Structure 1
C-alpha cells in the first residue's frame, strides 16, 4: 500500500494494488472514505500511525458503494476502533450481506478488467451503523454533503466538502490514463447523469476510486470529461 499526501495536514490517499481509500483529518479526528480490501486493516493502521496520528481517533468510515475493494476492511477497522460505518440506504443491505452485489452491465472492453478486479478478496458482511440520504450533511470537513450518484451501483454516493473544495467521487469517475466515466456500471445512463452532477459541483480537488486525485484545473477537467459522454436515453 502507498500513502500519498493530497492536501498537507488534511488529506491522504491510501493506494492499494486495486482501488484506494482516503483519510481526512480534522485536527486529531479522523474520517476514512472507503476502506480498501479485506485484510488491509493492518496496513491502514500502520499508515495512520506513520502520520503521527492515533487510529483510536477514527470516528467514521464512509463507504461510497458496496464493491469489495471499497468495503473489505471496514468491519475489521470499525471493530478495532469503534468507528461508525455509513453508507447510502440502498447500499446498506448489500454491504451487510443481506442482498447480493448488483451485477454490472459490462461493455466488451470491460470484461478483462472486471475479471482482474475479482481477484480482490471478497468482502465479509459489514455492519452499517447509519444509512444516509442525498443532501445529508455529515460532521467532518466543515460539513460533508452526501451526493447520491447512482449508476455505478444504485446506492453509490459522492461526498462533497464545499468549505475545502474537495469531492470524493467513489467509482462514478475514474482517472486511469484519462478522466472518464467509471467502469462496471449497473446503469450507464444513470452513471453518466451522476458524472455530470458531480462535475457541476466544480471542486478544486477530486478524489477518485481509481486513478490519481485531480488537484489542478479540476473543475474544468471534470466538466470537459462529463460533456464528452454521449447522452443516453
Structure 2
C-alpha cells in the first residue's frame, strides 16, 4: 500500500482498488475517511506509524458509502482503538449487514470493470455509531461537514472542510485518466446532480475515492467535469 502526503495534515492510503485518507488534527486526533479493504487494518496502522502518527489517536472513521472497498477495515480498527464509525442513515443498514448492497445500474462498458471490483474482499458487518445527515458538522478539520451526494448509493456522502478548502468526494467523482463522474451508480442522474453540487463548493484540494487527488486547479477541474458530463447527456 502506498502512503502519499497530499498536503500537511492529510495522507492518502492507496490500495490496489480505491483509497482511504487520514486527516490529522494534531498528534492525538486522527480521522480516517473510508477504510479500505477487509483485513487491511495492519497495513493502515503501519502507514499511520510510518508518518510519525499513532493509530491509538484514531477518533473517528467516516464512511463515504457502503461499498466493500470503503468499509473493509472499519470494524476492526474501531474495535481496536474505540474510534467512532460514521455513515449516512441511508447506507448505515448496509454497513451493518442488515440490508443488501444496492445493485448499480451499469452501462455496457462498466460491466467488466464492476466484475473486477468484486474481487475486493467483502466487508464484514460493521457497527455504525453515528449517522450524520446533510450539513451536519463532524467534529474535526475545523468544521468538516457532510454533503449528502445520492446517486452512487442512496446514502453516499462527501466530506467538506471549508476552512481548509478540502473536499473528499467518495465515489461520486473520480480521477482516473481525467476528472469526471464516477462509475457504478444506482442512479446516474442523481449522481450528476451531486457532482454539480460538489463543483459549486469550489474546493482547493479534491480527494477522490479512485484516482489521484487534485491540489492545484481543483475547482476548475470539477467545473469542467460538470460541463463535459452535461455535453454527454
TM-score strictly above 0.5:
yes
Cα-to-partner distance string for 1:103-147 (whole Å, 9 max, x where unaligned): 000000001100000000000000000011000011100011100
Partner of 2:14: 15
Partner of 2:72: 72
Contact 1:196 1:227 in 2 (8 A): no
CA distance in 2, matches of 1:91, 1:203: 25
Runs of 4+ in 1 over 2 A off after TM superposition: 230-233
Shift of 1:149: 0.1
Q: Does 1:26 align with 2:9?
A: no
CA distance in 1, matches of 2:76, 2:231: 41
Contact 1:48 1:54 in 2 (8 A): yes
Shift of 1:226: 1.1
Cα-to-partner distance string for 1:41-61 (whole Å, 9 max, x where unaligned): 000000111111111110000
Q: CA RMSD in A?
A: 1.1
CA distance in 2, matches of 1:189, 1:232: 12
Contact 1:192 1:231 in 2 (8 A): no
Shift of 1:232: 9.5
Task: Provide structure 2 residue ranges, at least 5 long, that are not aligned to the other structure.
Answer: none
Contact 1:189 1:232 in 2 (8 A): no
Q: Does 1:127 align with 2:138?
A: no
Cα-to-partner distance string for 1:85-113 (whole Å, 9 max, x where unaligned): 00100010000000000000000000110
1:1-233 pair list within 5 angstroms: 1-8=1-8, 10-28=9-27, 29-230=29-230
Q: TM-score, normalised by structure 1?
A: 0.98
CA distance in 2, matches of 1:153, 1:81: 28
Cα-to-partner distance string for 1:155-189 (whole Å, 9 max, x where unaligned): 00000000000000000000000101000000000
CA distance in 2, matches of 1:83, 1:146: 18
Number of aligned residue pairs: give it.
232
